[in-house]
Chain A
Amino acid sequence: MKQGYALFLVAIAAGALALVPVLAPPFYANLLVPFYGYAIALLGFNLLFGYAGLLSFGHALFLGLGAYTAAVLAGLWGVKEFEVVLLAAALAGLILALPLGWLAVRYRGIFFGMLTLAFGMLAHAVLFKFYHLTGGDSGMRVPRMHLLGLEFAAYNKFELLAGPFYYYCLILCGLAAFLMWRIVHSPFGLHLRSLRDNAQKAAYLGVHVHQFRLAAFAISGIYGAVGGTILGFRTGLADPELVYWTHSGHLVFMTVLGGFSSFLGPVIGALALTLLQDQLQSLTQYWRLVLGAILALVVIFLPRGLAGLAVDLGLFFGRRSAPSAASTTETA
């Protein structure tokens, strides 16, 4: 019943998002494209944080990897098919995540966080300094690509993003969410949650603690790289700022805002921050200050984030409507 209700809400939300290019000005569809990139990346990020209990402060590394993979394949090597780029980015994410994860998952808490931060900063330094390879602070161009073999030549970039690419990302995000749903509800997902709660007890129940953490790290790396490919396609650029630590902080912000204890919490956080940031930037030059204050308020008053608030409100109104329904029955 509860799951059916949640599925109903998800269907409503997906329907509303599908109507954005039809009903809202193209600006909003274009604005929401990065949301899909972040949503996919955060689904992976939260497998690591919410389900395996490992908070990475360098996860933007994988978003940058996805964008640079697109830049190299499409910009340098002339690959036109976005699906090929997506697969290559996912593979690159896996290949990078395995050695980094192998080193990082031996640690927990602040040590894991600092190690991942260090990986991110190393990547930033490489991208920034190796100008002849990476374009330095100018980054690398990500040209537009074909979607499902279609060039969409009649569309300019803005129209492509606000139309076909928007729906492409919506479906990709839906598939990524479905796949992640299966993963977190699988026996593998159960073992991940068990080691998050009590690694020693989990080991005595036969949970391969390090192997499972590494697997979660690798999957999150794949999701991050795929998300980064969308960001690169949208801006047409892969630049070092994508892997900078503040961008990793951005991912943590979105996750906390939406709520990491809920499956869709980080996705809600990504949507909320994308819209909030746009509105605040148009209102005040001190938008970062306002965002910081909002984050502080969320941590203090909504530790389970917006998703937790939604659940609590649903329970509150459910309880209120239950007695009134009962009294109606009695009156009748």
Chain B
Amino acid sequence: MSPQAPTAAPPRPPLGVSSPLIETVGVGKTYGGFRALEDVSIAVRAGEFVSIVGPNGAGKTTLVNLLTGLLVPSKGAVYFKGRNIAGAGPVTLATQGMARTFQLVQIFPELTVAETIAAAVVTRQGKRWRLLLPLVQDGEIATRVAAIAGMFGLASRLATLSRLLSQGEKKLLDVASAFALDPQVILLDEPTSGVSTAEKHAVMTTLVGAARAAGVQAIILVEHDMDLVAAYSHRIIALSEGRVLADLPPDEFFADPVIIETVVGKRRGVSC
């Protein structure tokens, strides 16, 4: 996914008290002749939990990749804390306060749980270029690693290799490492995929609790399970064929049968 040359960015929105943390302005993205996104303008403010939903092929992944600075929009601009982040890349955004988790669990198989979380803590504490300081001698890192592991119920697994964890624990570790960056905004891409239906709410409760404890200001959730979306979101943004179909609070969103039919294709309450 190599970044493409951006078009001229629209003027930056003025910053204010209620300025969005992250915002897209008239964003479009084309791959060759295929238009994946067109004229998408969304905004997420501090204190919000916003879900992005839509059927397969609606443009959710493209939007996520634009929001995380991995892709450059063909049209429009993406702002994070008032700065245009088109193609900024994940490293820059990680240091500026944005974290992301993936739909498919992403771990470091040969690192322990403690090392995985420490990798993010090292970034957060700006110690990545310390070539000669043994990690084990840094109490500041160890304290933070223990705190993050505790939030996600991984305290007893610190010395375990990541590849030896259960699927649920791997998912938690994936998210925990993102939280270890102390992000202001976290983007959760189907955080409960691969988790049993019975455990989904428990996982989400853990994530939301951890987000509060970690001081995360805004959460963006990409999710297919409409029960979870309804239960946790302040606002739901629905995409369809690359365009914003709806940007509504849950009550209004689920009251509109046309939107539900387009987005889910089924009645509410059935996961897809």
Contact = CB atoms under 8 A, between A and B. Distances in A.
B95 interface: yes
B131 A193 contact: no
Nearest to B124: A206
B119 A207 contact: yes
Most buried by B among A182, A201, A206, A209: A206
Contact of B95 (A179, A191, A197, A206): A206
Nearest to B98: A204
Contact of A206 (B94, B130, B138): B94
B177 A183 contact: no
Nearest to B108: A197
B120 A206 contact: yes
A187 interface: yes
Contacts, number: 103
Main secondary structure of the interface of A (DSSP, over half): helix
Nearest to B116: A194
B115 interface: yes
Contact of B110 (A182, A186, A193): A193
Contacts of B181: 205-206
Interface residues of A, number: 25
B37 to A, nearest CB: 21
B134 A205 contact: no
B220 interface: no
A197 B68 CA distance: 21
Interface string B78-107: 000000000001110011000110100011
A203 B1 CA distance: 14
B12 interface: no
Nearest to B187: A204
A142 to B, nearest CB: 31
B99 A204 contact: yes
Nearest to A201: B106
B91 A208 contact: yes
Contact of B132 (A186, A197, A204, A208): A186
A200 interface: yes
A202 interface: yes
B111 interface: yes
Contacts of B89: 203
Contact of B135 (A179, A190, A200, A209): A190
B90 A188 contact: no
Contact of B122 (A182, A187, A203): A187
Interface residues of B, number: 40
Given A187-B127, A205-B178, A194 B132 contact: no
B63 interface: no
Nearest to A198: B108
A185 interface: yes
Nearest to B141: A187
B108 A207 contact: no
Interface in B178-222: 178, 180-181
B109 interface: yes
Nearest to B122: A187
B67 to A, nearest CB: 13
A190 B132 contact: no
Nearest to B123: A206
A49 to B, nearest CB: 14
Given A190-B118, A193-B111, A203-B89, A185 B135 contact: yes
Contact of B123 (A179, A182, A207): A207
Given A202-B108, A205-B181, A206-B90, 7 more contacts: A186-B131, A188-B129, A188-B131, A198-B109, A202-B119, A204-B68, A204-B94
13 contacts: A179-B132, A185-B134, A185-B135, A186-B134, A186-B135, A193-B110, A197-B107, A197-B110, A201-B177, A202-B119, A205-B177, A206-B90, A206-B120
Interface of A: 179, 182-183, 185-191, 193-194, 196-198, 200-209
Nearest 5 CB-CB pairings of A with B:
A206-B123, A206-B94, A197-B108, A201-B106, A187-B122
